């Protein structure tokens, strides 16, 4: 999917109409989507084969040694020119192999910044990498080792050979990268391999890698210009000379126009002068025109004022206004009277309602008083009956309380018997515990004595830990040195029969040799033969052997001194003493375990527990004396039983009987309480009704006293009704008069006449003011016209304005021409850049439909994918940075493959290395990307490192399983 091309966006269109917009109805290019039976890459592959038939790079084998987890040598052989899958579980060494490839090419062999290559904890290791690869039809071998005095680099290519820095520079020249001047190699040095080799977790990070490989990419894009004139013109237009001319034209444009097209500089000054002259000329012309208009206006105002003074049109309106205001005053008097009558009617109606309410309230009070008096008589009868019921309930309550007290006494006696039986059983348990603790104390004291004896024995045999470690280290060093000496000795054997006179001289020692024998020599020796001849034997590495012998002697002396300090004769005595100390320590541990078992909290705590148990036993013996002897038995209580179960059964029976008596007592209490509450409730209600009757009777008596000598309420109601009818008749008559007078029309007439009179008089006054101001203005204008010649000034300003307008037209035309030139140059340069990048677009578009059918990718600045368009409906497209992580990784990998195609067509070696680059792809998208990789593997060698072996097993590719490779590696 595409969008209209705009200046500056650097997009590469797929197809465009005459108007510059993309036409999706037109047939897509051959590379836009894969078609059955058609080789999508046939044309590209043919171009590549024609341009560089013998160019190629593929890795044949990789070997590492002493590098990170690969302490033993590991070889990966049988790599194929196409797709190779190196699989293994997590932490099996895939990323280590990828790091080894990077180190072999990017790191100098003398660099000190590659400590991460060493196996963990092995500071003496010398990591090394060996590669065999084919380049330009010849086999090359690279050996590089790091981080040791013997670190070196060797490169063999056919019959050519390079060593050290020369070999590294030759590799960098072949593959298109450079080395860091100091420190570790970084991404800005990696060039083409950094673009084609994807590290784990960085598949989507394309911009930085493309920027570092920009120069070889542009060289590859410029390669077709040699034989294609159209492409050569596009390259020249997009080159630096075009940039220089465009920059020069834009600078000229900025002198007269801003970036938004607004005038500036000389053009802005000329336009400002033009506007100033236009304003001055307009002012002069306005003065000339205004003088004539003011003279005519003054004559008209003078004539209108004379007519107003003669006719005085406002006086008839003033007379009509006075008559209307008199009618309005009469209407106001009627309205006031109507309000007074309405207020009196409302007051009479309110008083009438109050009288009627008073009559009704008196009747209701008399009926309510009779009702409450009847209710009081009923309550008096109920109160007498409730009092008799309460007396009966009180007598039943007294009987229940007496029976409950007797039952409670029997329960207390049973509780005492039960308590004594439990106390006696507890005393028996305490006595058993006392005996157990006494026995445990005796056993713990014996174990403690054994522990003290064991500690004395252990201290006697124990060897101090620092001295023991020092002696053990010395013994291990002796063993190592003796082994080295044994290896370094030169063997000498002889078989002389009965011959005599052969002498062996080793230093100052002289030994006769006879018969058969053998020995080892660690220094130079002479064999003197009968007759005066001699043989000299010089063992190899004699100096190192002497050093080892000296070290062994020193260590043996230090060991003998340390053993003597401990009172030991030799190493075997030390071993016997250490073994005796271990046995004493074992016996000591057993004694401690026995003490902890018998006394977990210590012997003192165990003894305290025994003493406490003894005190409790003595206390319980005192408490077990018979209750009768101390005189605390309950009167009439049964003899206490020492059987806890029998005592508990007697207690349960007494408690059950007491519970029954308590239930009867509670029932009697409830009945007595209910009778008391009923009597109190009836008495309270009777008192309340009697009080209410008294209040109602008092109110009735008070109302009767007040009514004596007052008018009859019924007569007052009749009088107020007649008065209210009279007021209503008067109010209706006034309302009829107001309706006939039409107050709204009268008010409108008063307002209209008032406004007309005020308007006529204001118009007359305004004409006087305008006439006076015009007279003053004309007097001032006459003075100016006498001092300056306005006509001559207008002519001079018109001539100067014409000259300024010609200058503005000249400057504006030049600036518009420069603006048009810059816009056209920018548009043509963008089109040239689009044609310049079209080979990369064609290669990228050949891969995209495999993953996103009917989709197109747009390239932006820096030869990077800018957006992805999915079909004709997607006019704007999806920016790359808005895609999902998986989609960004896949589009970035497709871009790298397109770069590889472009570089190979330009004759540059290519090798694609992917370290878990598709971890964010689902099954469907992974299958599509595998098809893309299979197609790319037809032109490039691809190394895929993955921990998901099962996802790649069905591909037609060379498969390598790291655990199998490691199993076949030699042991260290």
**pLDDT digits 0-9 by tens, 270-327:** 889 889 988 988 887 787 777 778 788 888 888 888 887 887 888 788 888 888 888 8
Task: Give domain status of residue 843, yes or no.
Answer: no
Higher pLDDT, 28 or 683: 683
Identify which of 24-38, 369-383, 624-638 has the greatest average pLDDT: 369-383
Comparing 12-16, 399-403, 635-639, the range with the smallest average pLDDT is 12-16
160 in a domain, yes or no?
no
Say if 580 falls within a structural domain: no
Mean pLDDT, rounded, of the chain: 78
Mean pLDDT of 580-592: 80
Confidence label for 10 from pLDDT (cuts 50, 70 and 90): very low
CA distances from residue 639 to 425, 609, 625 in whole angstroms, order as listed: 18, 36, 14
pLDDT of residue 79: 94
pLDDT at residue 426 above 50? Answer: yes
For the chain, the helix, strand and coil percentages under 3-state DSSP, each to the nearest 5: 65, 10, 25
Residue 633: pLDDT above 60?
no
Name which of 193, 98, 185, 30 is nearest 903 in CA terms: 193
Which pLDDT score, from 0 to 100, does residue 944 have? 94
Least confident of 84-88, 148-152, 187-191, 540-544: 540-544
CA dihedral 525, 529, 533, 539 (to 10 degrees): -20
In this prediction, residue 409 carries a pLDDT of 80
pLDDT of residue 708: 64
Give the mean model confidence (pLDDT) for residues 937-946: 92
Residue 78 has pLDDT above 90, yes or no: yes
Written as six digits, the tokens of 178 are 């450079």
Confidence class for position 17, pLDDT limits 50, 70, 90? very low
Query: Hey, how many other C-beta atoms are within 10 angstroms of the C-beta on 370?
Result: 10
Largest CA distance in the chain: 189
Instruction: Report residue 726 as tokens.
Output: 């009279």
Q: 283-295: per-residue pLDDT in tens?
A: 877 877 777 787 8
- Given strand 855-859, what is the order of strands in its sheet? 855-859, 865-870, 878-879
Residue 834 has pLDDT above 80, yes or no: no
Q: What is the pLDDT of residue 946?
A: 92
- Residue 942's pLDDT is 94
Per-position DSSP letters for 554-587, written without gaps between them: HHHHHHHHHHHHTT--SHHHHHHHHHHHHHHHHH
Owning domain of residue 267 = 244-311+745-826
Residue 520 pLDDT greater than 80, yes or no: no
Instruction: Kindly report which listed range (520-529, 901-910, 942-951) carries the lowest average pLDDT score.
Output: 520-529
Concatenated DSSP letters of 211-244: HHTHHHHHHHHHGGGGT-HHHHHHHHHTSHHHHH
Instruction: Identify the pLDDT of residue 23.
Output: 34
- 971 pLDDT more than 60: no
- The pair of structure tokens assigned to 833 is 């850049």
At 509, list the tokens. 């020692």
**Spatial distance between the Cα atoms of 654 and 407, rounded to a whole number of angstroms:** 7
Q: Which residue has the higher pLDDT, 334 or 780?
A: 334
User: What local confidence, expressed as pLDDT, does residue 161 receive?
Assistant: 94
Indicate the number of domains in the chain.
1
Task: Give the model's confidence band at 706: pLDDT under 50 very low, under 70 low, under 90 confident, else very high.
Answer: low
Residue 94 lies in a domain: no
Return the minimum-mean-pLDDT range out of 29-38, 256-265, 868-877: 29-38
Reply yes or no on whether the pLDDT at 500 is more than 50.
yes
pLDDT, tens digit (0-9, with 9 covering 90-100), for 444-495: 778 778 777 777 877 777 778 888 888 888 888 888 888 877 777 777 888 8
Query: pLDDT per residue over 215-231, tens digit each?
Result: 777 666 665 544 455 45
Question: pLDDT tier at 509 (50, 70, 90 boundaries)?
Answer: confident
What tens digit of pLDDT does each residue of 850-897 get? 889 888 888 876 678 888 888 777 777 888 888 888 888 888 889 889
pLDDT of residue 20: 32
Cα separation, 136 vs 181, in Å, equals 29
Answer yes or no: is 513 within a domain.
no
Please determine, for residue 592, whether its predicted confidence score (pLDDT) is greater than 60: yes
For residue 326, is it within any domain? no
At residue 75, the 3 state secondary structure works out as: strand
Q: How confident is the model at residue 144 (pLDDT cuts 50, 70, 90)?
A: very high
- The pLDDT of 944-971, averaged and rounded, is 86
Q: What is the pLDDT of residues 85-134, one digit of tens each?
A: 999 999 999 899 999 999 999 889 898 888 899 998 888 899 999 999 99
More confident residue, 864 or 4: 864
Q: What is the dihedral of CA 846, 852, 853, 859, to 10 degrees?
A: -50
Is position 643 within any domain?
no
For the cut 60, the answer to whether the pLDDT of residue 25 exceeds it is: no
The token pair that represents 91 in the structure block:
């932490």
Does residue 835 register a pLDDT over 70?
Answer: no
| For the ranges 547-556, 727-736, 953-962, the one whose mean pLDDT is highest | 953-962
Give the range with max mean pLDDT: 42-46, 374-378, 699-703: 374-378
Rounded CA-CA distance 133/551 in Å is: 49
| pLDDT at res. 32 | 36
In a domain, residue 612? The reply is no
Among 257-266, 650-659, 723-732, which range has the highest average pLDDT? 257-266
DSSP state of 109: T
Closest CA to 860 of 887, 889, 891, 886: 891
Q: Residue 952 phi/psi, 5° resolution?
A: -120, 0
pLDDT > 60? residue 920: yes
Tell me the pLDDT band of 547, cut-offs 50, 70 and 90: confident
pLDDT of the residue at 16 = 34
Mean pLDDT of 337-364: 80
pLDDT above 90 coverage of the chain, percent: 11
The candidate with the shortest Cα–Cα distance to 133, out of 165, 90, 180, 101, is: 101
Across 40-49, 152-161, 402-411, the highest mean pLDDT is recorded for 152-161
- Average pLDDT on 202-227 reads 69
State whether the Cα torsion 561-563-565-567 is positive or negative: negative
Per-residue model confidence (pLDDT) at position 96: 92
Share of the chain above pLDDT 70, in %: 85
């Amino acid at each position: 999917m595409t969008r209209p091309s705009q200046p500056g966006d650097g997009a590469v269109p797929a197809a465009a109409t005459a108007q510059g917009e993309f036409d999706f109805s037109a047939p897509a290019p051959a590379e836009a989507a894969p078609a059955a039976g058609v080789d999508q890459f046939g044309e590209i592959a043919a171009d590549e084969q024609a341009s560089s038939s013998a160019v190629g790079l593929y890795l044949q084998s990789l070997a590492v040694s002493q590098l990170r987890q690969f302490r033993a040598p590991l070889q990966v052989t049988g790599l194929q020119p196409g797709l190779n899958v190196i699989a293994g579980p997590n932490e099996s060494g895939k990323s280590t192999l990828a790091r080894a490839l990077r180190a072999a090419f990017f790191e100098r062999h003398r660099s000190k910044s590659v400590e991460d290559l060493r196996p963990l904890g092995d500071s003496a290791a010398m990591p090394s990498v060996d590669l065999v690869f084919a380049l330009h039809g010849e086999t090359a071998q690279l050996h590089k080792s790091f981080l040791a005095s013997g670190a070196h680099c060797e490169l063999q290519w056919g019959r050519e050979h390079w060593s050290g820095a020369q070999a590294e520079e030759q590799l960098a020249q072949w593959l298109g990268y450079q080395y860091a001047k100091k420190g570790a190699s970084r991404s800005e040095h990696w060039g083409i391999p950094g673009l084609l080799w994807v590290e784990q977790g960085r598949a989507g990070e394309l911009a930085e890698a493309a920027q570092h490989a920009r120069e070889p990419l542009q060289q590859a894009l410029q390669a077709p210009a040699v034989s294609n004139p159209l492409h050569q013109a596009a390259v020249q237009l997009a080159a630096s000379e075009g940039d220089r001319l465009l920059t020069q034209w834009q600078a000229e444009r900025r002198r007269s126009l801003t970036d938004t097209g607004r005038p500036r500089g000389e053009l802005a000054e000329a336009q400002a002068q033009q506007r100033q002259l236009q304003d001055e000329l307009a002012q002069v012309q306005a003065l000339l025109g205004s003088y004539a208009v003011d003279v005519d206006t003054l004559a008209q105002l003078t004539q209108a004022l004379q007519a107003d003074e003669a006719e005085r049109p406002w006086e008839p309106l003033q007379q009509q206004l006075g008559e209307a205001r008199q009618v309005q005053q009469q209407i106001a008097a009627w309205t006031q009277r109507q309000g007074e009558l309405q207020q009196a009617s409302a007051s009479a109606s309110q008083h009438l309602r109050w009288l009627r309410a008073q009559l009704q309230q008196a009747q209701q009070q008399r009926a309510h008083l009779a009702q409450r008096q009847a209710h009081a008589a009923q309550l008096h009868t109920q109160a007498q009956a409730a009092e008799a019921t309460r007396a009966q309930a009180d007598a039943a309550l007294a009987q229940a309380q007496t029976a409950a007290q007797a039952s409670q006494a029997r329960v207390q006696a049973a509780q005492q018997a039960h308590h004594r039986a439990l106390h006696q059983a507890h005393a028996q348990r305490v006595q058993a515990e006392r005996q157990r603790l006494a026995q445990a104390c005796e056993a713990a004291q014996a174990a403690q004595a054994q522990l003290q004896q064991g500690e004395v024995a252990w201290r006697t045999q124990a060897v101090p830990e620092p001295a023991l470690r020092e002696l053990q280290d010395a013994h291990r060093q002796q063993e190592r040195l003796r082994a080295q000496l044994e290896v370094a000795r030169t063997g000498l054997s002889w078989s002389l029969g009965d011959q005599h006179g052969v002498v062996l001289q080793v230093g100052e020692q002289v030994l006769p040799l006879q018969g058969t024998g053998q020995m080892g020599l660690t220094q130079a020796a002479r064999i003197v033969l009968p007759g005066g001849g001699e043989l000299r034997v010089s063992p190899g590495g004699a100096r190192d052997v002497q050093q080892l012998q000296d070290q062994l002697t020193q260590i043996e002396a230090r060991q003998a001194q340390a053993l003597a300090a401990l009172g030991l004769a030799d190493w075997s005595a030390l071993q016997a003493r250490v073994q005796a100390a271990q046995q004493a320590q074992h016996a000591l541990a057993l004694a401690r375990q026995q003490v902890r078992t018998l006394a977990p909290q210590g012997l003192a705590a165990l003894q305290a527990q025994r003493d406490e148990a003894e005190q409790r036993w003595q206390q319980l013996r005192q408490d077990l004396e018979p209750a009768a002897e101390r005189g605390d038995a309950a009167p009439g209580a049964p003899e206490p039983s020492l059987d806890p179960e029998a005592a508990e059964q007697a207690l349960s029976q007494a408690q059950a009987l007491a519970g029954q008596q308590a239930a009867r007592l509670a029932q009697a209490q409830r009945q007595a309480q209910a009778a008391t509450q009923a009597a109190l409730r009836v008495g309270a209600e009777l008192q309340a009704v009697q009080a209410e009757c008294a209040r109602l009777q008092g109110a009735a008596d008070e109302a009767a006293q007040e009514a004596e000598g007052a008018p009859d309420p019924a007569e007052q109601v009749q009088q107020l009704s007649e008065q209210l009818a009279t007021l209503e008749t008067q109010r209706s008559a006034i309302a009829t008069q107001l309706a006939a007078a039409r107050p709204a029309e009268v008010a409108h007439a008063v307002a209209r006449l008032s406004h007309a009179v005020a308007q006529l008089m204001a118009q007359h006054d305004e004409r006087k003011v305008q006439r006076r101001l015009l007279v003053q203005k004309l007097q001032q204008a006459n003075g100016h016209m006498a001092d300056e010649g306005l006509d001559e000034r207008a002519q001079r300003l018109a001539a100067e304005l014409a000259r300024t307008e010609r200058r503005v037209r000249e400057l504006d035309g030049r600036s518009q021409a420069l603006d048009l030139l810059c816009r056209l140059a920018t548009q043509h340069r963008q089109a040239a850049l689009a044609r310049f990048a079209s080979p990369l677009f064609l290669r990228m578009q050949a891969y995209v439909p495999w993953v996103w059918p009917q989709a197109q990718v747009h390239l932006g600045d820096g030869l990077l994918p800018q957006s992805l368009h999915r079909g004709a409906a997607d006019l704007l497209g999806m920016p790359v940075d808005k895609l999902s992580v998986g989609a960004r990784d896949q589009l970035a990998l497709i871009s790298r493959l397109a770069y590889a195609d472009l570089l190979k067509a330009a004759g540059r070696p290519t090798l694609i290395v992917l370290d878990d680059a598709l971890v964010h792809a689902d099954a469907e998208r992974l299958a599509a990307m595998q098809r893309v990789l299979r197609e790319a593997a037809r032109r490039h060698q691809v190394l895929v490192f993955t921990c998901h072996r099962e996802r790649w097993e069905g591909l037609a590719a060379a498969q390598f399983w790291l655990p199998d490779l490691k199993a076949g590696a030699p042991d260290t």
